[in-house]
């Protein structure tokens, strides 16, 4: 009996993913544990392994397809001893998958033949779009269609649910696809040069009225950017932010860091660890949350979630956005362990190779822009966290000690809190505990 391979849910919130690459081809024999393909989610690219044995009878979804729904059919395996051709034709669609729309090479030509009143295209019968209705298409497909002067509504979609994807536009262009409908004549009044007022959620067309033709390019939002926008908008709209800042002297911490790094053992001619200031910040925040457990919380409508460990997320900048890999139970780990874990997580984050459990959850977060020369800033709370610590640059400043002006290395840190869970006094207590560990760093070694 044919074995259906479906799009897996790689995280609890995943609804769709992009099938980036097939690592097998039709006719290949696969065993349980063999990697079949790479799936792109909003935060990472993950390998999908086979749980069954058999021969790849059919690759239903081609590599590069965007927006494949969870549980949609992506491939069919023929079991051992089963006829491959029969399995390829007999594999059934899953409830979430739709039959592939018929492909017709004549579709673009038909649309071109009647530009004034486009006739229905046979290949579009399975697509959700119809005359006067919305045409479902990927952002990349829309951009390519616009650049080629193709009317996107006249292109036959072969993506999920009849969605027009990149290859459909390329096929239409190669076949001389329908030209876009003539644009409305530009207004000749003086009002034509005035910026168009924008409503909330304005379309691309409304926004672009404010810019001269040819002065911009359109870059489609990828899944990561959409997720970041959605979560941060939700955070600022639903979480009452409260901010507390304090200056921390770094001289003792820098001296201890230098001493620890100088004494690090070597392996193959390289030190087995090399602490950064950020590693010590992570440890200090984790210990501060241990000392002030009422601040190690998350808010829900019915309960205050009090966490037993400090799982510290660390913002890492990657192409197109950022991700927050998590150091679990950071209050229990040595500085060298935190340092090596962070280096591994950071490297895999930049390659988008993190597993969902390595960046989802956590109880707090650190965002360090000090290494970029930023003096101070306020970060946005990342739900379900109730706190996030923004780290500014360490710099030499004049401070007063015992009535004398002296030079000290100082950094400004700002704690953003969800005021429903951590109010001003509690936030100040947490920040005070953090400052003590930074300025008396030997306490992190106990």
Average pLDDT over residues 185-208: 54
- The pLDDT of residue 199 is 53
107 band by pLDDT with thresholds 50, 70 and 90: very low
- The pLDDT of residue 162 is 72
189 band by pLDDT with thresholds 50, 70 and 90: very low
- The pLDDT of residue 129 is 39
Q: What token pair was written down for 392?
A: 């500014």
- The pLDDT of residue 426 is 97
The CATH number for 101-182+202-220, chosen from 2.10.50.10, 3.10.20.30, 3.40.920.10, 4.10.320.10, is 4.10.320.10
Instruction: Compute CA distances 334 → 275, 284, 330, 340, whole Å.
Output: 11, 11, 8, 10
pTM of the model: 0.64
Catalytic residue among 161, 241, 385, 419: 419
Average pLDDT over residues 223-237: 87
CA distance 331 to 312: 9
Q: Which residue has the higher pLDDT, 278 or 210?
A: 278
- The pLDDT of residue 161 is 63
User: C-alpha angle with apex 252: 250 to 258, nearest 5 degrees?
Assistant: 100
Is 309 among the residues known to form the active site?
no
Fold of 3-90: OB fold (Dihydrolipoamide Acetyltransferase, E2P) (2.40.50)
Which residue ranges make up each domain of the chain? 3-90, 101-182+202-220, 226-444
Residue 108 pLDDT greater than 60, yes or no: no
Phi-psi region of 107 (alpha: psi -120 to 50; beta: other; left: phi over 0): alpha
Q: Where are any strands of DSSP class E within 258-402?
A: 266-267, 270-271, 297-299, 304-306, 312-314, 316-318, 321-323, 326-327, 364-368, 387-391, 395-401
Residue 366 pLDDT greater than 90, yes or no: yes
Share of the chain above pLDDT 90, in %: 47
Share of the chain above pLDDT 70, in %: 81
- Exposure b/e, 295-318, CB count within 10 A at least 16 = b: bbbbbeeeeeeebeebbbbbbbeb
Q: Among 119-123, 230-234, 258-262, name the one with the lowest average pLDDT.
A: 119-123
- Domain spanning 226-444, CATH architecture: 2-Layer Sandwich (3.30)
Q: What is the pLDDT of residues 264-311, one digit of tens each?
A: 999 998 999 999 999 999 999 999 999 999 999 999 999 999 999 999
Q: Which residue has the higher pLDDT, 214 or 202?
A: 214
CB 2 within 8 A of CB 52: no
Q: Are strands 364-368 and 387-391 parallel, antiparallel or unpaired?
A: parallel
Q: What is the pLDDT of residues 415-432, one digit of tens each?
A: 999 999 999 999 999 999
Q: Is the Cα dihedral 292, 293, 294, 297 positive or negative?
A: positive
Residue 256 pLDDT greater than 50, yes or no: yes
Counting DSSP H helices and E strands in the chain, the numbers are 10, 21
* Residue in 9, 49, 7 with CA at minimum distance from that of residue 356: 9
- The pLDDT of residue 142 is 77
CA distance 143 to 129: 18
Report the mean per-residue pLDDT for the chain. Answer: 82
387 band by pLDDT with thresholds 50, 70 and 90: very high
Residue 165 pLDDT greater than 80, yes or no: no
- The pLDDT of residue 114 is 40
């Amino acid at each position: 009996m044919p074995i259906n391979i479906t799009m897996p849910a790689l995280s609890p919130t995943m609804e769709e993913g992009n099938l980036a690459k097939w690592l097998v081809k039709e006719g290949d024999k696969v065993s349980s544990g063999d990697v079949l393909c790479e799936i792109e989610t909003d935060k990472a690219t993950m390998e999908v392994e086979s749980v069954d044995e058999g021969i790849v009878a059919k690759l239903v979804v081609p590599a590069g397809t965007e927006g494949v729904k969870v549980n949609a059919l992506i491939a069919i395996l023929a079991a051992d001893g089963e006829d491959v051709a029969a399995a390829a034709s007999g594999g059934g669609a899953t409830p979430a998958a739709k039959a592939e729309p018929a492909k017709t090479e004549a579709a673009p030509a038909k649309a071109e033949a009647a530009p004034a009143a486009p006739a229905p295209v046979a290949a579009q019968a399975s697509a959700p779009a119809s005359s006067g209705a919305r045409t479902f298409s990927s952002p990349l497909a829309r951009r390519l269609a616009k650049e080629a002067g193709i009317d996107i509504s006249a292109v036959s979609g072969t993506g999920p649910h009849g969605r027009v994807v990149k290859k459909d536009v390329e096929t239409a262009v190669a076949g001389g696809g329908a030209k876009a409908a003539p644009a409305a004549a530009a207004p000749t009044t003086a009002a034509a040069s005035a910026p168009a007022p924008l409503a909330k959620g304005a379309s691309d067309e409304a926004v672009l009225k404010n810019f001269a033709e040819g002065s911009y390019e359109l870059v489609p939002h990828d899944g990561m950017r959409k997720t970041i926008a959605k979560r941060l908008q939700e955070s600022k709209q639903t979480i009452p932010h409260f901010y507390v800042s304090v200056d921390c002297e770094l001289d003792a911490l820098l001296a201890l860091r230098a001493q620890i790094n100088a004494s690090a053992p070597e392996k193959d001619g390289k030190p087995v660890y090399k602490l950064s200031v950020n590693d010590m910040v992570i440890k200090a925040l984790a210990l501060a949350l241990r000392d002030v457990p009422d601040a190690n919380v998350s808010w829900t409508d019915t309960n205050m979630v009090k966490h037993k460990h400090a799982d510290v997320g660390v913002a890492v900048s990657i192409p197109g956005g950022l991700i927050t890999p998590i150091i679990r139970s950071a209050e229990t780990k040595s500085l060298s362990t935190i340092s090596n874990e962070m280096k591994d997580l950071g490297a895999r984050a930049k390659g988008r190779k993190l597993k969902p459990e390595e960046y989802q959850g956590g109880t707090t977060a650190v965002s360090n822009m000090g290494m970029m020369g930023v003096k101070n800033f306020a970060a946005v709370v990342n739900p379900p966290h109730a706190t996030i610590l923004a780290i500014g640059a360490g710099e030499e400043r004049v401070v007063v000690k015992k009535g004398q002006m002296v030079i000290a290395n100082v950094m400004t840190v700002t704690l953003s809190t969800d005021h429903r869970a951590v109010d001003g006094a509690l936030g100040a207590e947490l920040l005070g505990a953090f400052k003590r560990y930074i300025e008396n760093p030997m306490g992190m070694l106990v």
